[in-house]
A and B are shown apart, each in its own frame.
Chain A
Amino acid sequence: MYTIFKKEINVFFDSLYGIIIFSIFFLINGLFIWIFPSSNIFQYGISSLEIFFDLVPYIFILFISSITMKIISEERSLGTLEILLSQPISYKEIILGKFLSCWFLSIFLIFLTFPYWLTIYYLSNPLGNIDNIIILNSYIGLILLVGAMNSIGIFFSSIFQNQIISFLSSCFIFYLLYEGIDMINFYDSINLIDSFIDHFTFSYHYSNFTKGIFQISSFIYFIIVMITFFYFSLVNLRIDLK
């Protein structure tokens, strides 16, 4: 499993593709959070990273779709999946190695945004007047959210040989789970099932964390999504045995 993990990380950092994706992530983040007048933190007037945590899931929709789109579909279309399947490693190890590498890359990106926390800390007046518990919980929520997204992205990559279709499917489902379902709930006719559907959305569980609450049910929700789609990917990979 570690060999697959290491290979994926190396491939990402050795390629121009990886550098471009990382750069775009920080460029978009930086522009929205520090530069654009409509959204920058200085205009907000409160020493908080709320703007960042509201915005970053949308950026991750694109980022995670980009890194997961080729993770299996490319191996399948190039035939290299056959190399992996003929080695003495289990299907579980292959998927787990790939999932952990994508999750690691996402967490690495999140980790690189810690200076934002420090900046807000030093900019606040009086010094250090920020709610660290909210920020810490938001980071935990974000790490879990990206874990669930990666698991779904890998699942789509395991279904489609075409990377573009895999990318678009992931983007669509991430958006639907993050915001689309909430939007549907605005219609009065389906208001009755509103609160029930809410429990299946990313935004509902993620917002618990961004409010500073570590809710066990939300933690379990993200873990269940990760495991479920991990299993679905495994089933898809086994189709190659047929």
Chain B
Amino acid sequence: MSIHLKAKFLSKSYKTKKVLNNISFDVFKGNILGLVGKNGAGKSTILKILSSLIDFGGDVFINKKSIKNTDSEYKKNVGYLSENNPLYMDFYIQEYLTFIGNLNGLFKDDLEKRKKLVIELCGLNSFQNEKISNLSKGYRQRVGIASAFIHDPDILILDEPTTGLDPSQILEIRELIKNLAKNKIVIFSSHLLNEINEICDKVIFLDKGNIILDSNLKDLKNKHNNISLDKIFNKIIVD
């Protein structure tokens, strides 16, 4: 089934400070949307809104259905990896995945099958009986990603999934995201423009809570004579 996520006039203020200013965008199943911007541009706020973690103005529609009226139902369809990737450090990997799976209504055989699959896909096979506190940052990140899609959601939201990873781990995680995106909507934020360049189909540049560019990556490159994304970004910021 095709899935269409449409965000309409999203706005968010913290006390008197406006962090999102009526922004709209949409994304389809099979696409990877990258959010780029400086610190405080509003990337994480958008991802939190899409994960139904904070109140917001405007609305988000999945196949024309507002998420505001179907919060619990919507969350079943969303996997979220937070920026700092908080985890229960005293849990074993298997135990943690069981916990998240149970919260998402997965039990017994279904749960075991999904656990086996996500452990395999995230390369956690040789660590599956380890305590999370014993893992390196890279492997903890994998556990976070594994838990985000253990329930096979249609929408995967990843807040800077490759932060703090070494180069080889970054490549592996990128490959994983590309594979997952084949039958999902993946929305992620990053500071790294080459990362956006590598894996995204669509990119949104944000600045102070406003969208300064929303474009298909291929079209964007063609329009700017295939110059690097860094240069395009700098050009847009200067303009």
A residues near B (Cβ < 8 Å) are 3-4, 7, 11, 14-15, 78-80, 82-90, 240-242
Contact = CB atoms under 8 A, between A and B. Distances in A.
Would you list the 7 A-B pairs with minimal beta carbon distance, nearest first?
A: A79-B86, A88-B75, A3-B102, A87-B103, A88-B76, A86-B80, A80-B86
A86 B78 contact: yes
Contact of A3 (B52, B86, B99): B99
Given A7-B99, A242-B54, A86 B75 contact: yes
Q: Is the interface of A mostly helix, strand, loop or mixed?
A: helix
Contact of B86 (A7, A82, A89): A82
A82 B54 CA distance: 10
A88 B73 CA distance: 7
B23 interface: no
Interface string B60-102: 0000000000001101101010101011101000000001101
A84 to B, nearest CB: 8
B24 interface: no
Contact of B104 (A4, A11, A87): A87
Interface residues of B, number: 24
B99 A86 contact: no
B82 A83 contact: yes
Given A87-B100, A89-B72, A89-B103, A79 B53 contact: no
B40 interface: no
Nearest to A2: B102
26 contacts: A3-B102, A4-B103, A11-B88, A11-B90, A14-B90, A79-B82, A79-B86, A80-B88, A82-B53, A82-B82, A82-B86, A83-B82, A83-B87, A83-B100, A86-B52, A86-B78, A87-B100, A87-B103, A87-B104, A88-B76, A88-B104, A90-B72, A240-B54, A241-B54, A242-B54, A242-B55
B164 interface: no
Nearest to A77: B86
Contact of B84 (A14, A79, A85): A79
A91 B147 CA distance: 20
A4 B75 CA distance: 17
Given A15-B90, A80-B87, A86-B82, 16 more contacts: A4-B103, A11-B88, A14-B90, A78-B86, A79-B86, A80-B88, A83-B87, A83-B88, A83-B100, A84-B103, A86-B52, A86-B53, A88-B105, A89-B72, A89-B103, A241-B53
B51 A86 contact: yes
Nearest to A241: B55
B92 to A, nearest CB: 10
Nearest to B14: A242
Contacts of B87: 80, 83
Contacts of B73: 88
Contacts of A14: 90
Contacts of B102: 3
A57 B53 CA distance: 39
A83 B90 CA distance: 15
A230 B138 CA distance: 39
A4 B100 CA distance: 10
Contacts of A7: 99
A88 B147 CA distance: 14
A14 to B, nearest CB: 7
Contacts of B103: 3-4, 84, 87-89
Nearest to A89: B103
A85 B75 CA distance: 10
A7 B75 CA distance: 20
B86 A83 contact: yes
